[in-house]
């Protein structure tokens, strides 16, 4: 779990941190502006499919090179019209085409699923979504945003550019006793390869 200053920063920061200019994002036309900003920041190619049109998303994916890294992204609940995202169909598509699957659950966290876990829980998509974003500023009634995601660094590599406020892993490292904090060469190289050392191995799949 990684915490950001807002849901907007969580979406924009995560998309920009996961994608590079060589990648492609496949995005529902009604996805939130923060996703669009993140995609633009990343300089990845942006392919937009009509709202909830899974067949159109499939057509886009079919036309892309198999080896290109792809992020398939949908809102869990769309802020524009209140629709639920087509999670089961899009997760199946992501698995078929080897996409990183991301869900923006800003309007679902605290509302849908058991104990407000969001649309991934609502649809029973556990283990099939790589990245789940939520906000603390809607149902939770505070301020901030969070990202929960896969521990699979090969599938979801993260650049050190993410505008992260804090992460579970960083908090844990700082709270270790001084004597055990001495770096080994392997922990030093792990830190330098993961940049801010936050999101690569932070939590279970959403």
Ligand X SMILES: Cc1ncc(COP(=O)(O)O)c(C=O)c1O
Residue 34 vs 194, nearer CB to ligand X? 34
CB 13 within 8 A of CB 6: no
- Contact between residue 77 and residue 119 where contact means Cβ atoms under 8 Å apart: yes
DSSP character at residue 22: T
User: Which of 32/70 has CB closer to ligand X?
Assistant: 32
Provide the minimum distance between the beta carbon of 100 and ligand X in the complex, in angstroms, as a whole number: 18
Q: Is 138 part of the annotated catalytic residue set? A: yes
Rounded to a whole number of angstroms, the minimum distance from the CB of residue 196 to ligand X is 21
State the residues that interact with ligand X by CB under 6 A.
6-8, 11, 32, 34, 75, 79, 104, 106-107, 135, 137, 145
Task: Give yes or no for a contact between 156 and 130, defined as CB atoms under 8 angstroms apart.
Answer: yes
Least gap, CB of 2 to ligand X (angstroms): 14
Q: Known catalytic residue: 107? A: yes
- Whether 32 is catalytic is no
Q: Which of 47, 52, 107, 122 is catalytic?
A: 107
How many angstroms from the chain centroid is the CA of residue 58? Answer: 20
Question: Annotated catalytic residue: which of 79, 137, 159, 203?
Answer: 79
Give the nearer residue to ligand X in terms of CB position, either 6 or 194.
Answer: 6
**SS3 at position 166:** strand
User: For ligand X, which is the closer residue by CB, 27 or 194?
Assistant: 27
Helix (H) or strand (E) holding 1: none
Residues 1, 75: Cα–Cα separation, whole Å: 19
Q: Residue with CB nearest ligand X? A: 7
Query: Coil, strand or helix: which one is 134?
Result: strand
Residues carrying an active site annotation:
79, 107, 138
């Amino acid at each position: 779990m990684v915490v950001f200053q807002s849901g907007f920063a969580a979406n924009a920061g995560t998309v920009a941190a996961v994608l590079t200019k060589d990648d492609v994002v496949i995005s529902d036309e009604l996805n939130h502006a923060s996703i669009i900003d993140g995609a633009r920041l990343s300089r990845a190619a942006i392919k937009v499919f009509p709202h909830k049109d899974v067949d159109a998303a499939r057509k886009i994916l079919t036309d892309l090179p198999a080896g290109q890294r792809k992020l398939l992204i949908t809102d869990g609940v769309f802020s524009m019209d209140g629709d639920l995202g087509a999670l089961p169909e899009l997760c199946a598509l992501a698995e078929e085409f080897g996409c990183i699957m991301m869900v923006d659950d800003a309007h679902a966290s605290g509302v849908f699923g058991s104990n407000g876990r969001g649309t991934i829980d609502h649809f029973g998509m556990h283990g099939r979504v790589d990245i789940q974003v939520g906000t603390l500023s809607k149902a939770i009634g505070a301020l901030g945003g969070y990202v929960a995601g896969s521990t699979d660094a090969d599938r979801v590599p993260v650049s050190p550019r993410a505008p992260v406020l804090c992460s579970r892993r960083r908090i844990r490292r700082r709270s270790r006793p001084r004597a055990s904090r001495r770096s080994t060469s392997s922990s030093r190289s792990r830190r330098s390869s993961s940049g801010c050392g936050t999101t690569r191995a932070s939590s279970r799949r959403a």
